[in-house]
Chains A and B, each alone.
Chain A
Amino acid sequence: MKLPLSWIQDYVDIEGITPREYQGALTMSGTMVEGILQQGENIQNVVTGKILKIEAHPDADKLVVCQVDVGDETVQIVTGAKNMKEGDFVPVAKDGAILPVGKIKKGKLRGVESCGMMCSEEELGLAEEGTCDGLMILPKDTPIGMDIRDYLGLNEKIAEFEITSNRPDCLSVIGLARETAVTLGKPFNFKKPAVTQSGGDVNDYISVEVLDSELCPRYCCRAVRNVKIGPSPAWLQKRLELSGIRAINNIVDITNYVMLEYGQPMHAFDRRDISSSKIVVRRAKDGEVLTTLDGIERKLSNKDLVIADGEKAIGLAGVMGGENSEIKEDTTDVIFESANFNGVSIRNTSKKLGIRTESSSRFEKGLDPNNAMAALDRACELVALLNAGEIVSGVIDVCAQMKPNREIPFNPDNINRILGISIDRDFMVETLTALEFKVEGDRVVVPSFRGDVEGEADLAEEVARMYGYNNIPSTLLKGETTMGGKNKKQMAEDLVKDTLVSLGLYEIMTYSFVSPKIYEKLNIPKPDYIEISNPLGEEHSIMRTTAVASALEALATNYNQRNDEAFLFELATTYHKGGEDALAIEKQEVVIAMYGDVDFYGIKGVVEQLLEAFGITYYDIVPETENPIFHPGQTAVMKLKNKPAVTVGRVHPLVQKNFGIVPDAYVAVLDFDILLECQRTDKKYKQLPKYPAITRDIAMVVSDEINVRQIEDVFRKTRSNILESYELFDVYKGKQVGEGLKSVAYSLSFRAADKTLTDDEVNTVMENIISELEKKLNAKLRL
């Protein structure tokens, strides 16, 4: 909310307080002041002047030389302007003056001395660029030599307040003045408005029927006759404009002025347009149509509240008036409405129709019904002040039962207990009283405009913010100690990151929502995913069931950014339908994506080392030929506890193409839940070997169909306790071994824990292994 501080000054004396002090004090008592703009701050040493003489420039056709009286002297100014004549009054920037456009200095223009500049509105920053041609000509009665800021009234300080949604009472001059007064410890000078009634009876002008008192707890109105529509006086227009509201005519301006001052939105109807002189507050009929003041036809439903006459809707309650009853130049009788509407209903209507007005944004926060009458009276007071019409005697007030003001317990000890301090009762009572609470013994009556105050905690805040949050001491937590730290899963997450980072991978973060098109790009069928009902766009419209697409997009980004290599990983959450509480199943997966100096065995090595970090050294592994994301010949699935836990492989060329990745890309996806489940943390020390090992190399020719894993299974199944380890050192395919065959060579290491092995002992095991290899894999030993 934006206001000139001079308006606050009407209600509390803030003379002599610097903008910075004001900003600091209010901000620290809970009314955030985002900034205070000093009007005319960028104008200095500009005065009113009178052009005494205009002469031609000796050397320039387009320039003239003027003698200008600026009060204490007469200065010579050269100008290119044409719209002035001798005897005109103009703003004059003297030598050394500061203007929004820059500093003005004495100088020569085509050889003739010029001691300043006569200004246009644009040069003073009062008009948009390019909207002026010529100087700003001031009225004939302008005093000479006056500071232009004083003359034009460019001395306002405009404060920008940020009002939190719990304080609609502060969306008003009155509310802000009250806060200002309490914060600064000054009196709050509020006068009840006085209405001068001119006779007649309001009931002859209008009747009101409220059909839905839940949505409209109070409806007040007064009638004004013999209205003279015209512009408002300058002071009123200026206040509205400085507060960001356009002046329209005296009656409409009054309603806006009162809204800003009292925080109570109002509306004015042209009485001629109210058929049968009857106002009916009712729900709209489904499909009922109303053209609002902005000229837009609105289709309503019975959830919307309208102000109607005997026949038709004439206003959208609390949001915007109807075009059919607006104030016109020849309006003579006006009905002022000052009502209270249900906040939720206004909010829903405003949201549904997409109209947010100064009025609706106040009502939707819940306003004080008690304020309606005071505001109405203030409007009538202004009508008299502006001489805009005569107030018909009497007022209409259709009011559901008013709720009594809330009473809550007041216990200074409890307040101090919440704050951790001991403020004395007197300070609390003083503060609350200044904020218009009534302290009655151990109870407090909350003013009706403070709907936000419901209990002791709220009172504690009222006291604390005036006492000063920064005067509350800082203490450390006491009491029972708690066992802090990370749980097993959180530590496992760290382990994933630590391991992958140490293997040269960079952690990435990608969006949880994706486009449904990713499934086409991944070449897999669409799963049953979770959709966002109001997404920002198709691109972010579903919750991902896999993070592979996101990782591939990150590879593409890096490829497009001309990075030679990208080794990336994400510990990503995926979202699946189902779950106990009907929300979703949220799972974590580790996605590794790489291009550059890497091949299948490179990424598989990363996966193996990650598994090893989890204490997982053995798992089933089978080739994966059916996953459309992956290359059918370079992909494997690793199983843990019989569940597929890892898919690792080269990205299918078609998928790569869909994502626009040119270099060969490799991806691994690990199910984090299974990883966690299989994690082994029971590491035990194994005695260092005391006796020497015997190594034997073994080379064999097998069918190319046979995977080395099958050979290793044979080693493992011999279950010899002296076979310490085996290591693959050569795989060869080629003419020498023959079509469809390959040669595989291992180095086997034998060792016993308790003695030095003999050749015979090793030979027995070797023979056993060889015969198994021959039998199971049809291997031919090469010796």
Chain B
Amino acid sequence: MKQQLNQIKADVVSALENISSKAELESFRVEFLGKKGRLTQVLRGMGGLSPEERPVVGQLANEVRSFIETEIERMGEKLEKELLEKRLVEERIDVTIPGTRKKLGKRHPITTVLDEIKDIFIGMGFQIAEGPEIEGEYYNFKALNMPEGHPARDVQDTFYITEDVVLRTQTSTVQARVMESQKPPIRIIAPGRVYRSDAVDATHSPLFHQIEGLVVDKGVTMADLKGTLEVFCKRLYGEDKKFRFRPHYFPFTEPSCELDISCPACNGKGCRVCKGEGWIELLGAGMVHPKVLEMSGIDSTIYSGFAFGIGLERTVMRRYEIDDLRLFFENNLKFLKQF
């Protein structure tokens, strides 16, 4: 029997060499270890052994069994590994083929830039205020120090609903509304649609967006106006940009100014983009006119403030180098998908 067992062991070694699949390994297992397997058959003959021989043969049989089991396991692992490697090779794909994409929409570029501007001001403690687009003549003109017959009224070609009701020509209308309903300190921006009766072309639209800003508190100065707007412009346009404040006129601010940025196309040397000036106008601003404060019921001897107005379309056009205002309202996806 010893001989038989040793023969089995030898056969196992030679049989293993020919195994190349899991199925073969399984029939190998059955051949040797199965209920009718060779090892089992040999062990069945154990009963005919002498008591002295039995433990010796038994031990040998166990050794052979565990040898076979170890070998099967080893072989199994080896086959597994080979199989995996083969599969990995088979599963190779062209990873340079473009990915499968989910449909994703986008915000309108005007909203995208507006969101950015809102975030900058919210970071400085500003709230977002709103006002009606169909507005009383009072808030659009009178409360902004443009009484009847004021020459500045002519500059803004106004759409009228009735004699006293207009489509607001500027978001500055929100100024008086906020001051009437809110006590200082006031820090707001008011973005929204405004209307001027300009025929549509590449640089004009009868409808566009402005962002009005208003700060009213005790001791607000022109230096604060400069500081606040510089922070805003640097955040939006980059720390490396140069700015200048230039005197200007608005009926509802005094002193008034416009803020220019050094021309990004020529770095201030003067070119076609900036009409040779080296500067591009960004926004208008000024200290809230004392009359405007008083009309809204705020004591101008105690409080002061500043206001500013930003043209949103022009800001977006500069950002993305868009050269035609009409594209914003055409809503062609070939345009909208670019941002």
Interfacial residues, chain A to chain B (CB-CB below 8 A): 23, 27-30, 32, 34-35, 164-167, 343-344, 347-348, 351, 364-366, 417-421, 455-458, 460-461, 464-465, 469-470, 472-487, 490, 494, 497, 500-513, 530-536, 540, 543, 554, 557-558, 561, 563, 566-569, 573, 575, 581-584, 586
Q: How far is the CA of A665 from the CA of B249 in the complex (A)?
A: 50
Q: Mostly helix, strand, loop or mixed at chain B's interface?
A: mixed
Question: Does B31 make an interface contact (CB < 8 A)?
Answer: no
Q: How far is the CA of A250 from the CA of B257 in the complex (A)?
A: 42
Asked if residues B185 and A479 are in contact (CB atoms below 8 Å), the reply is yes
Q: Kindly identify, within residues 323 to 339 of chain B, every residue whose CB is under 8 Å from any CB belonging to chain A.
A: 328-334, 336-337
User: Which A residues are in CB contact (< 8 Å) with B328?
Assistant: 509
User: Which A residues are in CB contact (< 8 Å) with B90?
Assistant: none
Known: A35-B276, A461-B256. A347 touches B149 (CB 8 A): yes
User: What are 28 pairs between A and B in contact, CB < 8 Å?
Assistant: A35-B276, A166-B251, A417-B221, A418-B255, A419-B221, A420-B223, A455-B290, A460-B222, A461-B256, A465-B255, A474-B226, A475-B223, A475-B224, A475-B226, A482-B125, A482-B126, A484-B127, A497-B107, A502-B104, A506-B108, A506-B333, A507-B105, A531-B161, A543-B161, A557-B332, A567-B103, A582-B165, A584-B132
Q: How far is the CA of A366 from the CA of B150 in the complex (A)?
A: 10
Question: Does B322 make an interface contact (CB < 8 A)?
Answer: no
Nearest Cβ on chain A to B220's Cβ, whole angstroms: 7
Closest 9 CB pairs of A and B: A420-B221, A420-B223, A504-B103, A344-B149, A461-B255, A30-B247, A164-B249, A474-B227, A584-B134
Cβ 8 A contact of A477, one of B132, B133, B228: B228
User: Which A residues are in CB contact (< 8 Å) with B336?
Assistant: 506-508
Question: Does B199 make an interface contact (CB < 8 A)?
Answer: yes
User: Which A residues are in CB contact (< 8 Å) with B219?
Assistant: 417, 478-479
| Total A-B pairs, Cβ < 8 A | 260
Known: A165-B152, A457-B287, A557-B330. A581 touches B136 (CB 8 A): yes
Q: How far is the CA of A364 from the CA of B149 in the complex (A)?
A: 9
Most interface-central of B223, B244, B247, B289 (chain A CB within 10 A): B247
Question: Does B40 make an interface contact (CB < 8 A)?
Answer: no
Asked if residues B254 and A473 are in contact (CB atoms below 8 Å), the reply is no
Known: A460-B255, A484-B127. A563 touches B247 (CB 8 A): no
User: Which A residues are in CB contact (< 8 Å) with B247?
Assistant: 28-30, 461, 464-465, 469
User: Which A residues are in CB contact (< 8 Å) with B251?
Assistant: 166
Nearest Cβ on chain B to A179's Cβ, whole angstroms: 11
Q: How far is the CA of A479 from the CA of B290 in the complex (A)?
A: 20
Question: Does B110 make an interface contact (CB < 8 A)?
Answer: yes
Asked if residues A532 and B167 are in contact (CB atoms below 8 Å), the reply is yes
Question: Does B296 make an interface contact (CB < 8 A)?
Answer: no
Interfacial residues, chain B to chain A (CB-CB below 8 A): 102-108, 110-111, 115, 118, 121-128, 132-136, 148-149, 151-152, 154-155, 159-162, 165, 167, 185-187, 193, 195, 197, 199-200, 206-207, 215, 217-224, 226-228, 230-231, 244-249, 251, 254-257, 275-277, 287, 289-290, 304, 328-334, 336-337
Q: How far is the CA of A506 from the CA of B256 in the complex (A)?
A: 39
Q: How far is the CA of A135 from the CA of B257 in the complex (A)?
A: 51
Asked if residues B124 and A477 are in contact (CB atoms below 8 Å), the reply is yes
Asked if residues A586 and B132 are in contact (CB atoms below 8 Å), the reply is yes
Nearest Cβ on chain B to A432's Cβ, whole angstroms: 14
Known: A508-B331, A509-B110, A558-B332. A473 touches B223 (CB 8 A): yes
User: Which B residues are in CB contact (< 8 Å) with A586?
Assistant: 132-134
Nearest Cβ on chain B to A538's Cβ, whole angstroms: 14
Q: How far is the CA of A460 from the CA of B286 in the complex (A)?
A: 12
Q: How far is the CA of A28 from the CA of B154 in the complex (A)?
A: 25
Asked if residues A561 and B221 are in contact (CB atoms below 8 Å), the reply is no
Known: A464-B255, A478-B219, A484-B124. A420 touches B224 (CB 8 A): yes
Nearest Cβ on chain B to A601's Cβ, whole angstroms: 16
Asked if residues B159 and A483 are in contact (CB atoms below 8 Å), the reply is no
Q: How far is the CA of A249 from the CA of B126 in the complex (A)?
A: 62
User: Which B residues are in CB contact (< 8 Å) with A535?
Assistant: 159, 197
Question: 15 new A-B pairs (CB below 8 Å) besides A455-B254, A506-B333, A509-B110?
Answer: A30-B248, A165-B152, A419-B255, A456-B290, A474-B223, A474-B227, A475-B221, A476-B231, A484-B126, A497-B107, A504-B104, A504-B105, A507-B336, A567-B103, A583-B165
User: Which B residues are in CB contact (< 8 Å) with A567?
Assistant: 103, 105
Nearest Cβ on chain B to A367's Cβ, whole angstroms: 12
Q: How far is the CA of A482 from the CA of B126 in the complex (A)?
A: 7
Q: How far is the CA of A482 from the CA of B121 in the complex (A)?
A: 12
Nearest Cβ on chain B to A469's Cβ, whole angstroms: 4
Chain A: CB-nearest residue to B231: A476
User: Which B residues are in CB contact (< 8 Å) with A540?
Assistant: 206
Known: A457-B287, A512-B193, A567-B103. A472 touches B128 (CB 8 A): no
Nearest Cβ on chain A to B271's Cβ, whole angstroms: 13
Asked if residues B105 and A165 are in contact (CB atoms below 8 Å), the reply is no
User: Which B residues are in CB contact (< 8 Å) with A469?
Assistant: 226, 244-247, 257
Asked if residues A28 and B246 are in contact (CB atoms below 8 Å), the reply is yes
Asked if residues A583 and B193 are in contact (CB atoms below 8 Å), the reply is no
